[in-house]
Amino acid sequence: MGGGNEKENLTVAELILQCLDKPKSLIRFVTDRLGHDRRYAIDCSRLRGLGWQPQLSFEEGIRTTVEWYRTHEGWWKKIKSGEFHIYYEQMYGRRLQEGVKGAGVEG
């Protein structure tokens, strides 16, 4: 990962569950699919060359992120409910339709 903290998905999932005080039994394993990524990696060596360093450990960053989601429930509940679709339609619906027509695709 970008902060030099390469972790397995299972390790990250377990850490998130720990932050939420939830049991590991909530983890469900699924069969691999075609094209399934085995690894995600970010090379931050260029940033480090400019003097950048992570400000938090990976674990502290996950805890901080989980806490943010806990204290901003109003933000993510709208996303989960699908309410954001109304916003996008109001804000971008006309532009999206015009963009599709302008691309030679009938909308």
Max mean pLDDT among 35-39, 50-54, 99-103 falls in 50-54
Does this model's pTM top 0.85? My answer is no
What are the pLDDT digits (tens) for 62-91? 999 999 999 999 888 888 888 878 887 888
Three-state SS letters, the chain? CCCCCCCCHHHHHHHHHHHCCCCHHHCCCCCCCCCCCCCCCCCCHHHHHCCCCCCCCHHHHHHHHHHHHHHCHHHHHHHHHCCHHHHHHHHHHHHHHHHHHHCCCCC
Per-residue pLDDT, averaged over 3-7, amounts to: 77
